[in-house]
Chain A
């Protein structure tokens, strides 16, 4: 049985003091990697620039980039190989598989997202002070919710051919992080 393409979401953190051309180079390389594996990029943009919850490679800030794409599972390994290649610039990356509905919603929301781009960053910022504001303030964008939760329930059934539906491949950049083990 042929392997079907799936939808994935990759989030990666770039160190804050990176040069523009380096940034463009990484982006281009990732795009090429996906293109080479017939991946279809649904969204590729900057998600947020924010304080890291803990120090990674002596950085306390980071710029988050998000890629949402559709591809065969093999492309994920390839993409991550490229991310690992830039392990001094890419502090952290993670790929999760997402549901088709979530991906489609993303596709549709792509235009609106550009306008709202500043808002996720703003609501992400006070995360450190979060327990205090844990009270009644409900900042969660409810409009995004239904499509997100519903397919999650439906997912296990359709994922039958492949045992792991929500494959999470997370990997730290290959270089050893001296701070990491001790700090935790």
Chain B
């Protein structure tokens, strides 16, 4: 069998039914084999977008997302998506074409050392040197991408090797790699210690992250939190794993989190970190982060434990396996829930004093926060929301109210503008029965707006709600607050005409400039047959609050 055909048999054996990509010279053999493959190829318009679509697919489904690109510029265009998948631990496999083996190292046409370029931003990478290795490498790549702490794996396939004939043997056996054995069970002694610490805590906070989503451990988290009315907060990446309508929910924490969540962390005596990594957007000034707290840190990646904040009780393991054990040990201690009453009255006082709020707009003005609240209303709070990066992303995180995992898809770690639209396409391909809405910023959307062509041509009916304030809003906000209002490079101006642009791509286009029309126009956009964009003109200079200025402590929140 031709190696390129074996590549697709191998992908099919891994259960792949959708891939995203763009062909080119070096992956011509692969695209030839694609003609006979039993899976759907979604043809993107830029490899970066193919990569983000694969990420969106993975976020929405929990399966491995797959993106294809050719050698040279095709591969380098994937780099941002690969880095994004690494930072947010997204299970993905990137398959690049490479120039013929006799050309490698000669600066051949469209040659780039993509394995070398991506080394610091992949979980692992494999350069095919023998065509017989392809089935084995694909099998390994999926295993590595999807187990342990998930992440991107790159497989680079030289053109001539893809054309070679090999004796194809399906690889379905368990992968054995002596250098890769994730610890999943969690040390029971440590778990018992953690349960006892929790039982003795008077001011505990459960702080969760994207690891809960990756572990599909939302139900296990809810059980643990319910066991004793623990207060719960989450990072941006973990939103939805714990229901935002729960009485125990404090809101998101960190730079644009709620005062309640940040103050609770500041005064906590015990923080139970679950699948979260103490990023600088969470801790602010590290030396003043949660000064009274002891830390239980549960994570599948041992390198995250004590990386930024020293853990008192480290537990390495899969959250899905650790949480039920922790819950069992905790329940056996038969604690007295009333010991948390004082803590809860303090929390309730913060919640009453500092709710998330904003100044209502003038007649007809569309406040960005109102726009997010309206999105919640028209989607029943139940859509898959993707976002770009910036103010609109933070407002979505604050105001949408996510109640289920895998409904909130955004670029947290790398902060990639232009992520939202291609991610929405990937999510909609993965879950066609769900309403998928991309909440975009006008600065971000244009960075991958060509993907409207993908949505139209591939008939992927995603909806884009564009929060258009005419600015690189978050940068403008920082220049206003911290750079003496010296605005630099943040005005987007009147171009493009988004409605005409959407229509030029063959998508529906609507514009909303009056808050009285917002609900109706959002519904019309959702009901449009096919992809559609709603250009919403929001208050141009609204700032996103509250916030912890970079490098400050939680108690110094402003706004």
Whether both chains belong to one complex is answered with: no
Which A residues lie at the B interface, using CB under 8 A? none
Seen from chain B, the residues whose Cβ lies within 8 Å of a Cβ on chain A are none
